Each structure stands twice: as C-alpha cells, then as structure tokens.
Amino acid sequence: MQRGTRIAAIAALGLGVAACATPTTVTPVRTTPLDEVLVIGDDYARLGYIVNAGDDLTVRFYYNPQLDEDLRVRPDGKISLALIGDIQAAGKIPDALSRDITTAYRAHLNRPNAVVIVRRFASARAFVAGEVQKPGQLDMQQQSQTVLQGIAAAGGVTDSATLEQVVVLRRVSNWPEPLVFQLNLLRALDGTDPKQNVLLLPNDLVYVPRSGIADVNLAMRQYIFNNLNLSTSAGITYGLK
C-alpha cells in the first residue's frame, strides 16, 4: 500500500472511531505572523552565527602566529589552547569567543589579539519534507539559501503539491519556543510579495503540503508531528520515521 493510501486509510479509521467516542479538544498549532518571523530572523542575523559542538575553528594570533591552531569544538562545547587550556566555545558568536581568548592570553602575551574563524559548520543544515521529489537534509554550509532554493535542491515539488501553504518549523537559539509559519510561495514566484521567500536558518524544517490542505494545523498533524521525531536537547534535529 502506498504511503498516501495508508495515510488516507488511517485518517478514515480515525474518523470512524471518533464518531463513536467522546469528542476531544485538539490544541491548534500556534502560527507566527510572517512580519514577526522576519524581525526575529533579522535579529538572529545581526547576532551572527553561534558556535556549536563539532564546528571546525581556526584560532589565529596576529603577533604570535606560532600559537595559531586548527581545532574542533568538543562535544562538551570546549576547545583546548596552548598556555590557557580549556575554554568554552559553543554557544558564543566568533567575535565573543575571540575576545574571551584574547583576554585569557593577556596573562601570557603582550599583544595577544586573537581572532576565531569558523572553517566548517557542523550544524549548517535544513530539512525539506512533504510533496517534494527528494525529501531529506539540505546542506547549507556553502551559502545562504531561500525556501524556494531549498525546495529546488530537494528536486522540486511533486504534481500533487501546493506552494500556497508551505509550512516552516523553526527553532532559533535562545528563543523560548519553536516558530511555525506559513508561506505563499506563489506570490514570491510572481513577484507580488518577494518577502514570502524567506532565508532559511540552520535546522529549519520546510514542509510542502498536498494541494487541498489549506489548514496549517491539519498539515502539521498529518505530517510533521506524526511522521518526524523532534529532539530539542541541543538545538533541534529531525529524524524521518
């Protein structure tokens, strides 16, 4: 039985059971207005990239190049440097980490002036699911991408897809709860509302629904929460069942 047929059968069975059972209240998914999403995204961009465990860093010293090091952030979020030992790296933007290293080296060097460069981003990925040709993980290490570019990288949409109610699930570092918002990408494609084609952030999940699903709550229940394992222990990861 094909996946779509299985979902339809399960849905029909659920409706039959519901008719005989006491009605239950389903808490709707709270969606965030796009204008608010764009403000949060701008704030995130201004803050800059936050270092994560697994990132590859280069620490350079302008006046003491013999101390330059290439390092990988350990699972505990720390890196080890000559003379000062362990220092916390994960959770900081590169500029803040550069300042912390410079301060720590002042006890040993006259002009430490350290700078941190992120060579490889361990968590620079997004996810595209639903009615696309190749659902799965999207590598974002090379360049910023928009939602439409992410869908194109997933092979484009299927014949049964709609771009009018694309759902994005987003978790932003230090933000209290996940953001769920809806995009009308047809308006971005015809040029009437380009802001609908938002820039992807690391760990975004983009869901392209089937044509006819106009309710974002229905889309979320039918796919995202029923077919994915969500883990938020350190950022957010998604595993397809």
> Tens of pLDDT along 73-97?
999 999 999 999 999 998 888 999 9
Alpha carbons 82 and 108: distance in angstroms, whole number? 11
pLDDT single digits (tens) 198-207: 888 877 899 9
Q: How far apart are CA 50 and CA 93, in angstroms?
A: 5
Q: Which residues contact 110 (CB under 8 A, 6 or more apart)?
A: 63
- pLDDT score for 51: 86
pLDDT for the residue 18: 41
Q: How confident is the model at residue 11 (pLDDT cuts 50, 70, 90)?
A: very low
- Give the C-alpha distances (Å, rounded to integers) separating 160 from 164, 183, 208: 12, 17, 10
pLDDT digits (tens, 9 = 90+) for 228-241: 544 433 333 333 33
Q: Residue 131: is its pLDDT beyond 70?
A: yes
Q: Please state whether the predicted TM-score (pTM) of the whole model is above 0.75.
A: no
Share above pLDDT 70 across residues of the chain, in percent, rounded to a whole number: 68
Summarize pLDDT for 60-75 with one digit per residue, the tens: 999 999 999 999 999 9
